[in-house]
Amino acid sequence: MTEHPENDNQYQSLQVNQGTSDKPTVNPYLKNFKKFKKKTYTVDEYVDGILTGDISILSQAVTMVESSKPEHQAIADQIIEKCLPYSGKSIRIGLTGVPGAGKSTSIDSFGMFLLKDPKIKLAVLAIDPSSEVSKGSILGDKTRMERLSIAKNAFIRPSPSAGSLGGVARKTRETIILCEAAGFNRIIIETVGVGQSETAVHSMVDFFLLIQLAGTGDELQGIKRGIMEMADGIIINKADGDNVEKAKLAQAHFRNGLHLFPMPESGWSPEVLLYSGYYEYGIEEIWNMVQRYVDFTQKNGYFDYRRNEQSKYWMYETIDEQLKSRFYNNPKIQELLKTLEKQVLQSQMSSFAAAKRALDSADS
Amino acid sequence: MTEHPENDNQYQSLQVNQGTSDKPTVNPYLKNFKKFKKKTYTVDEYVDGILTGDISILSQAVTMVESSKPEHQAIADQIIEKCLPYSGKSIRIGLTGVPGAGKSTSIDSFGMFLLKDPKIKLAVLAIDPSSEVSKGSILGDKTRMERLSIAKNAFIRPSPSAGSLGGVARKTRETIILCEAAGFNRIIIETVGVGQSETAVHSMVDFFLLIQLAGTGDELQGIKRGIMEMADGIIINKADGDNVEKAKLAQAHFRNGLHLFPMPESGWSPEVLLYSGYYEYGIEEIWNMVQRYVDFTQKNGYFDYRRNEQSKYWMYETIDEQLKSRFYNNPKIQELLKTLEKQVLQSQMSSFAAAKRALDSADS
């Protein structure tokens, strides 16, 4: 690992806390800080700042990545390209679990455990496609990451609030590059356990961790199958006090359940561990597991293979998404599709003839 | 229903049996028949033949639909367009089940039951994307549809052997249009219980029927969840002899299992029935169920709604598929993607920058 000198700016953690909010704040420090934030940098200044680990500049670069303005995106693209050669040197961990599973409390505990090692710098990102409405899980849960949010070697960033999951995922993946270039060597990407967001997170991390609760009665139900199949590790939270026996039972259930799945491509058998995010039991064991996984997959070549597959996946995923959005966002096509839909529904044209007509029209 | 005069051609069923095979056959009838088959019709002759219920001409029109030659496709497109106004007047039933569930035997029994009514004409089609290798389930199972394959009002057609599922599905959907124009008022579309083919079949039928076996030990397993959720009815085969008790137990299991799912959009609660394809018990009840479903959904409007949604689905599905295949089949793009992939894997370019480069290149 390259050493990244720390930025001594005393406003650093405030800047981090501020996230992407553009609203004026009552915090008197931030009022003065506003002027500083408004300063515009050249691409090279951004890159130099990131490479020296300046969290304030990193944060503003991420704001560029998240911006929907084309001029910001152009700057972001250049920053990313220049940071790319310095990226890749972290362990990326995906973390999912239903609301109430204790994700934020757990991340706070995980983070404080990891940061005991002064060589570790931890970035916590999130993918929450619903964040436009809910204002983001991390932003809302900030109070539950009390210690981490003011820790020196931590960078917490709420989910970008772009529209589509694809857009949100892209911005998060680009933010990973910037964080890695800034010397962050552990990246946790949190997502809520709904919809397709787990798949997106799974496609950008080295290790996918599923938080479960004992005794919620939904252990091993079909609905969790897809997510369980993606997990490299399952951790059962709130294994404390009266709950320990239930948690052990759930652990046995999950272990049995995992045996029903074929051996993952990685050759790694997913483990099921108990812990308590609140009381901080079992945290060390979880990170030992992650490290053992990394060692194991780096040795058998799967670690690099998975990252390469992910890079290709996002390239082709982006192409496919763009092919569609370019076509369907064309006003001429939108108008034509309305007419064609009507003709198809009135059996004047087959679905396939209508599709051909629309495609031909885009070419002309 | 319009009446469609029958074609008296004695070679009719042989023609039907021959399917899409282009290989010379040892059957002496077919040797002479070859010349007749080679006769080319104009589009109007095809359409007239189909509308009068000429099964030989219908069969050759389907061959045009299935052909990969552009000149055949152009003819097929015109035939379909002209037949379209005469289509839609059938009940379309999808039928799936794992290999060994007795699909072919069941279809034979179902068919012979339905054809007791002289007003009924039954077409049996198949979607089997693997048919290129396995030569198609129906073709291989032809001997198990002994009675139906020589019945006057039946038309059996193996799965088209095109490459992609999308291609196979498209050809099958177009064949439905031709069969309906030829007066077939019951269409069964069979598929093997693997992969995505059920979804394709489900997207082109009015009623989706799942055949299950009692006592195979895989009842209600997570793996069947997606298919179970699509089913409008589940029928348990081989409910005969020693197997009756096991079948009744399976019936109870499936009924309970279905209660775990939310009420389908149709408002119809899927039923679970027992039958024996071999001994022909319970066949009438199955078709009473299908008819009750049709009456129920025609009354509440879901029948037409579902068909309209399917038409739109296939239109947009085709557009999406074509957008991709046009892009990726471009040799210039293929060449470029190889280079870009290499650059992405060497961290010289981000996945998103590479995607943009490829898309921009297609525009220029």
Average pLDDT over residues B47-54: 97
Alpha carbon B64 to its chain's center: 17
Q: Are A80 and A175 contacting, i.e. CB atoms less than 8 angstroms apart?
A: no
What are the tens digits of pLDDT across the range B147-156? 998 999 999 9
pLDDT given at position B216: 57
Kindly report, residue by residue over B122-139, the tens digit of the pLDDT.
999 988 766 444 444 444
Alpha carbons A327 and B319: distance in angstroms, whole number = 9
Probe site for chain A from B219, B334, B352 (most A CB atoms < 10 A): B352
Q: Testing the interface with B: which of A220, A341, A351, A363 to mutate, by most B Cβ within 10 A?
A: A351
* Neighboring chain A residues of B85 at a CB cutoff of 8 Å: 347-348
Is-contact B136 B168, C-beta < 8 A? no
Set of chain B residues whose Cβ sits within 8 Å of the Cβ of A313: 351
Task: Tell if the CB–CB gap between B84 and A354 is shorter than 8 Å.
Answer: no
Residues of B with CB under 8 A from a CB of A: 77, 80-81, 84-85, 87-88, 170, 173-174, 177, 222, 225, 308, 311-316, 318-320, 322-324, 326-327, 340-341, 344-345, 347-356, 358-359
Please name the member of A170, A312, A341 whose beta carbon is closest to the beta carbon of B344. Answer: A312
Query: Could you give the 3-state DSSP secondary structure of residue A189?
Result: strand
Mean pLDDT check: name the lowest of B194-198, B244-248, B322-326.
B194-198
pLDDT band for B36, please (50, 70, 90 cuts): low
Distance, CA of A213 to CA of B335 (rounded, Å): 49
Cβ atoms A29, A14 nearer than 8 A: yes
pLDDT computed for residue A267 by the predictor:
94
Highest average pLDDT, of A134-143, A284-293, B102-111, comes from A284-293
Residues A277 and A104: their CA atoms lie apart, in Å, by 9
DSSP B224: G
Question: Do the chains contact at B308 and A85, CB–CB below 8 Å?
Answer: no
pLDDT at B28: 52
- Is it the case that residue A223 has pLDDT exceeding 50? no
Cβ distance of B353 and A314 shorter than 8 Å:
no
Best of A315, A329, A364 to disrupt the B interface by mutation (most B CBs within 10 Å)?
Answer: A315
Q: In this structure, are residues B201 and B96 in contact, taking their beta carbons and an 8 Å threshold?
A: yes
pLDDT digits (tens, 9 = 90+) for A82-98: 999 999 999 999 999 87
pLDDT of residue B162: 58
Q: Compute the nearest-CA separation of B284 from chain A (Å).
A: 33
Chain A residues within 8 A of B170 when measuring between CB atoms:
352
Average confidence (pLDDT) over A15-44 = 56
CA A30, A33, A34, A39: dihedral to nearest 10 degrees? -160
State the average pLDDT over residues B32-51: 79
User: How near does any CA of chain A get to the CA of B9, in Å?
Assistant: 31
pLDDT over 60 at B170, yes or no: yes
Closest residue in A to B354 (Cα–Cα):
A315
Contact across the interface for B311 and A345, Cβ inside 8 Å: yes
Bridge partners, A187 (sequence order): A92, A123
Q: How many CB atoms lie within 10 A of CB B8?
A: 7
Tokens 């490459």, residue located: B163
Q: Which residues pair with B211 in a beta bridge?
A: B235
pLDDT of residue B196: 77
Task: Sort out which chain B residues have CB atoms less than 8 A from A84's CB and list them.
Answer: 347-350
Decide if B315 and A340 are in contact by the 8 Å CB cutoff. yes
What is the mean pLDDT of the segment spanning A311-329?
A: 93
Cross-chain residue pair A352–B314, CB shorter than 8 Å: yes
- Residue B229, class by beta-carbon neighbours within 10 Å (0-12 exposed, 13-18 middle, 19+ buried)? middle
Nearest Cβ partner for B324 among A81, A314, A323: A323
Q: Which two three-digit tokens encode residue B308? A: 């309209």
Enumerate the residues of chain A whose CB falls inside 8 A of the CB of residue B315: 340-341, 344, 351-352, 354-355, 358
Coil vs helix vs strand at B154: strand
Please name which of B86, B179, B104 lies closest in space to residue B147, comparing C-alpha atoms. B104
**In a mutagenesis test of the A interface, which of B218, B260, B351 is the best target, namely the one with the most A β-carbons within 10 Å?**
B351
Residue B321: exposure state from Cβ atoms within 10 A (0-12, 13-18, ≥19) = middle
> In a 3-state reduction of DSSP, which class is residue A186?
strand
In angstroms, the Cα distances linking A353 to B41, B88, B160 are 22, 17, 19
pLDDT, average across residues A262-281 = 92
Residue B19, sorted as left (phi over 0), alpha (psi -120 to 50) or beta, turns out to be left
Residues on A contacting B at a C-beta cutoff of 8 Å = 77, 80-81, 84-85, 87-88, 170, 173-174, 177, 222, 225, 308, 311-316, 318-320, 322-324, 326-327, 340-341, 344-345, 347-356, 358-359
Select from B87, B327, B345 the Cβ nearest to the Cβ of A311: B345
Could you tell me the domains of chain A?
Answer: 86-306 (3.40.50.300), 330-363 (no CATH)
Classified as helix, coil or strand, B177 is helix
pLDDT confidence of B263, banded at 50, 70, 90?
confident
In sign, the C-alpha dihedral spanning B53, B55, B60, B63 is positive
List CB contacts of A311: < 8 A, sequence separation 6 or more.
Answer: B344, B345, B351
Res. A229 pLDDT band, cuts 50 70 90: confident
Q: What is the pLDDT of residue A175?
A: 96
Chain centroid offset of residue B359 CA? 35
The tokens for B51 are 């509308």
pLDDT at site B193:
62
With a CB cutoff of 8 Å and minimum separation 6, the contacts of A97 are: A103, A192, A193, A210, A211, A212, A213, A237
Contact B347 A320 (CB under 8 A): no
pLDDT computed for residue B24 by the predictor: 43
Report residue A36's pLDDT band, with 50, 70 and 90 as the boundaries. Answer: low
DSSP code of residue B270: P
Q: Residue A142 phi/psi, 5° resolution?
A: -50, -40
Q: Which has more confidence, A245 or B14?
A: A245
Alpha-carbon gap, residue A360 to A6, rounded angstroms = 57
* Chain A closest-CA separation from residue B283 CA (Å): 32
Contacts of A316 in chain B (CB under 8 A): 355
Confidence class for position B227, pLDDT limits 50, 70, 90: confident
Q: What is the pLDDT of residues B174-208, one digit of tens each?
A: 999 999 999 999 999 998 766 678 888 999 999 99
Listed residue (A122, A112, A176, A119) closest to A147, CA to CA: A112
With CA atoms as reference, the chain A residue closest to B78 would be: A353
